Amino acid sequence: MGWLNIAASLLRDAMTSSEPEPSPEESHLPADIASLAEAVGRLRSETTQNFDAVGQVIKAQNARHLRDLQIQRRWNYGLAAGLIIAVILSIVAWMR
């Protein structure tokens, strides 16, 4: 019963805990059109840079996965060859 009491108290604490709500971010929009266009341009360039960075990370991850798959395939071939050799040796030993 001790574990049930602990679990119930943890559940009760989790349900009653109140996390502070995040305050909404205040947006400081520029007053004139030129600075607004500049802000939009900066946002676009940052977004493009972020997408490029994500693309590079994904390419590197895919390359690592491909290399790992090739290593795993070699191991599988080696293990299959070893199994075949072991079966052949056991058949030869059994026949004698």
What is the per-residue pLDDT across 5-63, written as a single tens digit (0 to 9) for each? 888 887 787 777 666 566 666 666 667 888 888 888 999 999 999 999 999 999 999 99
Residues 6 or more apart in contact with residue 29 via CB below 8 angstroms: 36, 39
Predicted confidence band at 96 (pLDDT cuts at 50, 70, 90)?
confident
* H or E stretch at 63: helix 33-95
Write down the pTM of the prediction: 0.51
- Segments making up each domain of the chain, as ranges: 50-96
Q: Give the span between the Cα atoms of 83 and 89, in whole angstroms.
A: 10
CA distances from 5 to 10, 13, 18, 20, 72 (A): 9, 12, 22, 27, 48
Query: What number of other Cβ atoms are within 10 A of residue 39's Cβ?
Result: 13
